[in-house]
Amino acid sequence: MRNAPPDRMLLTGNHAVAWAARLARPKVLPVYPITPQTPILEKLSEFEAKGELDAEVITPESEHSVMAASIAASLAGARVFTATASQGLLLMHELLHYASGARAPIVVANVNRTVASPWGFWPDETDSLAQRDAGWIQFYCESAQDCLDTVIAAFRIAESVLVPAMVNLDAFYVSHALEPVSVPGQELVDAFLPPYSPPHRIDPQNPESWGNVVSQEMYCRHRRDLGEAMARVFEVALETEREWSRLTGRSSPIIERYRCEGARTVIVAMGSLCGTARDAVDALREGAEAVGLLKVRLFRPLPVEALRAALAGVAEILVLDRNYSPGYGGVLHQELRGALYGIADPPKIHGRLAGVGGVNVSAERIAELVREAAAGEARRESVWVEG
């Protein structure tokens, strides 16, 4: 292929997303710029201009229109990709629900950024976690490599179950940090991700319609169907991961256990915090403290069984949330309490609001939090951590 990528490239998280999208061969790319997602759009436009990406890039007048165009293009049978952040994702909200209801397997990369007001440009996952009930598959990425692997996998998973997928990456820490990334060849990705061919599509030869007014029973059945499709994600993700690992040698499980053998305390986190937490775990292990990390890569559907199995027998859990749901606390903390409810020998679950609004959380601070948690009682509510 013309301009085949070199295997290893130095890429930011944003450019890794753009490379993954290019390799997935989307046909329609509706986009609206917003900091810090803009480099994704610029890279994709550059690929398209150079003839390396055969897609229609369109620039609607807002994110609301971006998602509307994405839904219709997807239902017409085209593979659709777009990217956004923060306010842009919030403006899409109405149509996020519509997309999952219409079973349009669009893939969106969302750069996690604080939401207004007040205004900020800092990493914070509240934007996407506020969309958790919109019926989208949600992934959280730790690194540029994770972004590339996840975007490609997201297309395969979304199209298998006909549910849209959102791939989240933290602003700046992931979106703008340069890392060496293994970029697979086009043939490999083509073998992994067959052309999109949905069982239903807008087709004049075979008329069907979407978005009709339905009875209560039909509506209810429709929701259950969506739930059943979500439930199939675990199995499809496992099979997708096996295939990806066979082809590339890299494995990206839906939850990853890092140095959890015999761990007394396990840190649970998502996104860029996982990288820092790994350093904290290494330092604590060096001091012979039995601490591990559990990275939640797939947040919707929440892998409840996998979490229960992975955390069984652990004495203490420290959840780090770079997000805040006012009136309840850290979203992952509260979801984990629900997921582990009724487990035998329940672990103590300590929730920490660490890094909200982009506040920096160092590995040393995480190590301190582990020690403080082990020494104290677990509280029902999430506890604020100062930077």
Partner 1 sequence: MNAPSAIVLAAKDFKSDTKPVWCPGCGDFGVLTSLARALADLSLRSEEVVLVSGIGCSSRLPAYTTCYGFHGVHGRALPLATGLKIARPDLTVIALGGDGDGYSIGGNHFLHACRRNVDLTYIVMDNHVYGMTKGQASPTTEPDWDNPLTPGGIGVRPFQPLVIALASGANFVARAFSGNIVGSAEIIAEAIRTPGFAFVEILSPCVTYRPEQRQWKELVRPAPVGATDDPARAARRILTDDGFNLGVLYCGSRKPYQPQTVREKKTLEDVAREFRL
Q: Which stretch binds partner 1 (CB under 8 A): 43-51, 142-150, 287-295, 320-328?
A: 43-51
Name which position in 55, 63, 73, 295 contacts ligand TPP (CB under 6 A).
63
- Residue 308: closest CA among 268, 364, 272: 268
Nearer to partner 1 among residue 13 and residue 39 (C-beta):
39
Q: How many angstroms separate the CA atoms of 16 and 11, rounded?
A: 6
Residues near 346 by Cβ (< 8 Å), separated by ≥ 6?
Answer: 340
Parallel, antiparallel or unpaired: strands 255-258 and 348-353: unpaired
- Residue 289: closest CA among 269, 318, 309, 310: 318
Nearer to partner 1 among residue 32 and residue 244 (C-beta):
32
Name which position in 34, 44, 78, 349 contacts ligand TPP (CB under 6 A).
34
Name which position in 42, 243, 256, 289 contacts partner 1 (CB under 8 A).
42
Nearer to partner 1 among residue 3 and residue 216 (C-beta):
3
Q: Does 360 bind partner 1 (CB under 8 A)?
A: no
Q: What is the smallest separation between the CB atom of 125 and partner 1, expressed in angstroms?
A: 20
Q: Does 88 bind ligand TPP (CB under 6 A)?
A: yes
DSSP state of 329: B
Name which position in 17, 31, 148, 270 contacts partner 1 (CB under 8 A).
31
Taken in order 80, 148, 274, 247, the sign of the CA dihedral is: positive
Name which position in 6, 61, 194, 344 contacts partner 1 (CB under 8 A).
61
Nearer to ligand TPP among residue 89 and residue 369 (C-beta):
89
Structure tokens at 21: 């999208």
The residues with which 179 forms a beta bridge, in sequence order, are 11
User: Residue 352 in contact with residue 319, Cβ under 8 Å?
Assistant: yes
Write the DSSP string, 91-118.
Answer: HHHHHHHHHHHTT---EEEEEE---SSS
Nearer to partner 1 among residue 9 and residue 58 (C-beta):
58
Cis omega before residue 36 (within 30°)?
yes
Measure Cα distances from 184 to 134, 152, 170, 203 in Å: 32, 10, 23, 34
Residues of this chain, 92-121, that bind partner 1 according to CB under 8 A: 116, 119
**Residue 121: how many other CB atoms lie within 10 Å:** 13
Instruction: Please choose which of partner 1, ligand TPP, none residue 386 contacts, taking the beta carbon within 5 to 8 angstroms, the exact cut-off set by kind.
Output: none
Name which position in 45, 160, 245, 248 contacts partner 1 (CB under 8 A).
45
Instruction: Please choose which of partner 1, ligand TPP, none residue 245 contacts, taking the beta carbon within 5 to 8 angstroms, the exact cut-off set by kind.
Output: none
* Helix runs in 102-215, H state only: 126-129, 144-161, 186-192
Parallel, antiparallel or unpaired: strands 383-384 and 348-353: parallel
Q: What is the smallest separation between the CB atom of 86 and ligand TPP, expressed in angstroms?
A: 7
Nearer to partner 1 among residue 33 and residue 198 (C-beta):
33
Give residues in contact with ligand TPP (CB under 6 A). 32-34, 63, 87-88, 91
Residues lying near partner 1 in the complex (CB under 8 A) are found at: 31-35, 38, 41-42, 45-46, 48-49, 57, 59, 61-62, 87, 116, 119
